[in-house]
Amino acid sequence: MMRDKQRYVLVESGSSVQDAERDDFSLGLYNALLHSIGESNYHRVNPKVVKFLSDRRFVVRTSLSGCGPLVAALAMLKRVNNKDSYFYTLKSSGTLKALGSFKY
């Protein structure tokens, strides 16, 4: 049995996320993505916020086949947890190490 291949997407948010509200932001992002792409596509995309790099940048892990729909859904999102925001995809990679070489 082959394992599922993953992609890591570096995302920049328009609103800052403080340390105390990161769990709430992650849950709100999951709910917004669920409403944006639908339940069946959500399970194919399988998003997970892996790491916060700063108050505006974070890394989302997704399946290889769900990378395109995730990037499209992030571009369409305008609100998370009743806060206006926007999301830019800065880079996508197969490993966190290659993603870490991105110059801020």
- Summarize pLDDT for 81-98 with one digit per residue, the tens: 888 889 999 999 988 888
For residue 25, tell me if it sits in a domain.
yes
Q: What is the pLDDT of residue 28?
A: 92
For residue 38, tell me if it sits in a domain.
yes
Residue 27: domain span: 12-92
Confidence bin at 76 (pLDDT 50/70/90): very high
Q: What is the pLDDT of residue 83?
A: 86
Q: Quote the number of domains for the chain.
A: 1
For residue 102, tell me if it sits in a domain.
no
CB of 67 closer than 8 Å to CB of 7:
yes
d(CA 102, CA 104): 6
**Which residues make Cβ contacts (< 8 Å) with residue 83, sequence separation at least 6?**
15
For residue 48, tell me if it sits in a domain.
yes
Digit-coded pLDDT (tens) for 12-70: 998 888 888 899 999 999 999 999 998 888 899 999 999 998 899 999 999 999 999 99
Crossing angle of helices 22-37 and 67-76, rounded to 10°:
100
* CATH value at residue 47: 3.30.70.3250
d(CA 32, CA 73): 9
